[in-house]
Amino acid sequence: FPNTSGTSIRGRTKVSNLANKKIKSLLDLCAKSALQHNPEMKAYYQRRLEEGKNKMSTINIIRNKLVSRMFAVITRNEPYINLMKYAA
């Protein structure tokens, strides 16, 4: 969250006190690991950087992708299927 107060000098952005910082740090590590080992995520990350996007915003998007994949696997009761290996 940004730390601003009217016209004062902006402070450093911080994680909310309501957030679970342990889970956020684990998700960050998962996203960085996915960048190293998952070719689909790596290609997405490189494509976004070539478009001139910010590295941290891209990592945040990758975190969201991982969370949505986890919820999809849980709600469907089916294992994750890697569709990239079937693409031509």
In a domain, 3, yes or no: no
CB atoms within 10 A of CB 27: 19
pLDDT at residue 62 is higher than 90: yes
Banded pLDDT at 16 (limits 50, 70, 90): confident
Place of tokens 């079937």: 86
pTM of the model: 0.75
Structural domain count, the chain: 1
pLDDT at residue 76 is higher than 90: yes
In a domain, 35, yes or no: yes
- Which tens digits make up the pLDDT trace of 3-15? 666 666 666 777 7
In a domain, 20, yes or no: no
pLDDT at residue 26 is higher than 90: yes
In a domain, 78, yes or no: yes
Domain that includes residue 42, residue range: 26-86
What percentage of the chain has pLDDT greater than the value 90? 60
